[in-house]
């Protein structure tokens, strides 16, 4: 059976993974074995759900000519549940990209506009972290630079969980906010922009040729909450890859060496994804940092004044429940992007 779910291909992959599990040296590489087990569990769950749904449909079709009006209402409820199952399976079938199951780095950078744009970057950071907390994703702050008056100059988080890159890759691009500014004493309407860059985390065992002469490494004081928690040593690390102009920073660890290792891993992930994207002619979707942060380049509009509406310009999906979205309810936007793709 081929088509949307490509069931035959999934079953072939399941058989291959089970053969790998039976190798006597399977557990010699714990990390690899864990990934195989995770993939196998996901594939088997998808196949079982799909075949179970087909069986349920066949059973319902058999009894359809025999049911009365009361039983028909029960059958309608069953059909509604089957539609939900189908939608869930449909989304699973769309998460088949090479990197979709990988953890991902999500970066937020404000556009021009000073405090206003920095505050918008902070609102987006809150939205994504609340989504993670509500949907069993974990995140780790890799780097955070606070704005001079409010908000964030930049933030990078590492997101892990169920197909993180697969779901978050649709957030890649410029986000535009229209609202009455809380920083304007005249209560005027302001437009702010912020860019979101999403890059898959690449296996650190993959060899990437990075020349020392191509790197500019800066160290500086990590920003802290103050008091005893502030780090007074130059432990934060910023690495600039001169040929590509890619910049990565890390200040989460108290050790400069640890921050450098994490920053290098981020750089490797970005370089590998960029090179692979070039070969696959998908550079813009993976690099995520080549768009202008201004009018006309946004992927999503968040309008809070003079009316309330959040609309994705790529898919047309929209909602007037702006508060709910900004509190992390963005799954519908992610799903509409996947279906549109």
Q: What is the three-class DSSP state of 62? A: helix
pLDDT level of residue 98 (50, 70, 90 thresholds): confident
Mean pLDDT of 30-36: 82
Same-domain status, 191 and 282: yes
Q: Are residues 312 and 185 in the same domain?
A: yes
pLDDT of residue 323: 96
74 and 214 fall within a common domain: no
Query: Which of 60, 94, 128 is the last residue in one of the domains?
Result: 94
What contacts 83, CB < 8 A, 6 or more positions away? none
User: Do 67 and 123 sit in the same domain of this protein?
Assistant: no
Q: Is residue 173 part of a domain?
A: yes
pLDDT value of position 302: 97
When mean pLDDT is compared over 39-53, 241-255, 317-331, the highest value belongs to 317-331
Most confident of 15-19, 83-87, 218-222: 15-19
CA distances from 65 to 62, 72, 300 (A): 7, 10, 48
Residue that finishes a domain, picked among 94, 122, 151: 94
Sheet holding 236-241, edge to edge: 215-220, 236-241, 246-250
Q: Distances from the Cα of 325 to the Cαs of 193, 306, 313, in angstroms?
A: 17, 18, 16
The answer to whether position 99 is within a domain reads no
If asked whether residues 317 and 188 sit together in one domain, one would say yes
Per-residue pLDDT of 234-282, as tens digits, reads 788 999 999 999 999 998 888 889 899 899 888 988 888 787 777 665 4
**Residue span of the structural domain in which 276 resides:** 104-340
Would residue 1 count as lying in a domain?
Answer: no
For 111-143, how does the pLDDT look when each residue is reduced to its tens digit (9 = 90+)? 987 889 999 999 999 999 999 999 989 999 999
pLDDT at 296: 56
Give domain status of residue 232, yes or no: yes
Residue 2 has pLDDT above 50, yes or no: no
Angle, vertex CA 318, rays to CA 160 and CA 151, nearest 5: 55
At residue 165 the predicted structure's pLDDT band, cuts being 50, 70 and 90, is very high
Q: Does 294 map to a domain? A: yes
Residue 248 lies in a domain: yes
Question: Does position 1 have pLDDT exceeding 50, yes or no?
Answer: no
The tens digit of pLDDT for each residue in 171-221 reads: 999 999 999 988 777 778 889 999 999 999 987 666 778 888 999 999 887
Q: pLDDT at residue 156 above 60?
A: yes
Q: Which residues neighbour 293 within 8 Å (Cβ) at sequence distance 6 or greater?
A: 109, 110, 111, 112, 174, 193, 194, 195
pLDDT at 69 over 50: yes
| Mean per-residue pLDDT, 150-178 | 93
Cα–Cα distance list, 14 to 10, 98, 127, 334 (Å): 6, 17, 37, 28
Instruction: Answer yes or no: do 314 and 221 share one domain.
Output: yes
Of the candidates 70, 94, 118, which is a domain's last residue? 94
pLDDT of 108 > 60? The answer is yes
Please, are residues 180 and 187 in contact by the beta-carbon 8 Å criterion?
yes
Rounded Cα–Cα distance for residues 3 and 194 (Å) = 39
Of the candidates 254, 202, 260, the residue with the CA atom closest to the CA atom of residue 232: 254
Query: Would 2 be classed as within a structural domain?
Result: no
Number of domains, the chain? 2
- pLDDT number for residue 128: 98
Query: What is the predicted pLDDT for the residue at 205?
Result: 64
Task: Judge if 295 and 332 occupy the same domain.
Answer: yes
Do the Cβ atoms of 131 and 331 come closer than 8 Å?
yes
């Amino acid at each position: 059976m081929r088509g949307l779910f490509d069931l035959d291909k999934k079953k072939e992959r399941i058989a291959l993974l089970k053969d790998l599990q039976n190798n006597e040296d399977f557990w010699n590489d714990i990390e690899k074995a864990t990934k195989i087990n995770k993939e196998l569990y996901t594939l088997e769950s998808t196949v079982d759900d799909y075949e179970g749904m087909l069986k349920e449909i066949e059973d319902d079709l058999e009894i359809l000519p025999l049911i009365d009006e009361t039983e028909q209402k029960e059958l309608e409820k069953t059909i509604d549940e089957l539609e939900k199952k189908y939608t869930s399976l449909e989304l699973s079938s769309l998460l088949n990209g090479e990197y979709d199951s990988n953890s991902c780095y999500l970066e937020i950078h404000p556009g021009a506009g000073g405090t206003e744009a920095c505050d918008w970057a902070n609102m987006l950071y809150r939205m994504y972290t609340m989504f993670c907390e509500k949907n069993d994703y974990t995140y780790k702050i890799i780097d955070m630079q606070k704005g001079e008056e409010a908000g964030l100059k930049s933030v990078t988080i590492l997101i892990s969980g169920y197909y993180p890159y697969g779901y978050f890759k649709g957030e890649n691009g410029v986000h535009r906010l229209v609202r009455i500014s809380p920083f304007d004493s005249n209560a005027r309407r302001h437009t702010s922009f912020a860019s979101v860059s999403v890059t898959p985390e690449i296996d650190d065992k993959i060899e990437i040729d990075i020349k020392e002469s191509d790197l500019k490494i800066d160290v500086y004081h990590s920003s802290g909450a103050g008091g005893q928690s502030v780090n007074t040593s130059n432990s934060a690390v910023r690495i600039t890859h001169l040929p590509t102009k890619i910049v990565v920073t890390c200040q989460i660890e108290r050790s400069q060496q640890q921050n450098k290792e994490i920053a290098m891993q981020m750089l490797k992930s970005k370089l590998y994804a960029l090179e692979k994207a070039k070969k696959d002619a998908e550079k813009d979707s993976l690099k995520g940092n080549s768009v202008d942060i201004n009018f006309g380049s946004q992927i999503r509009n968040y309008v809070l004044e003079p009316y309330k509406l959040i609309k994705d310009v790529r898919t047309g999906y929209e909602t007037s429940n702006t508060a709910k979205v900004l509190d992390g309810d963005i799954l519908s936007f992610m799903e509409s992007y996947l279906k549109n793709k």
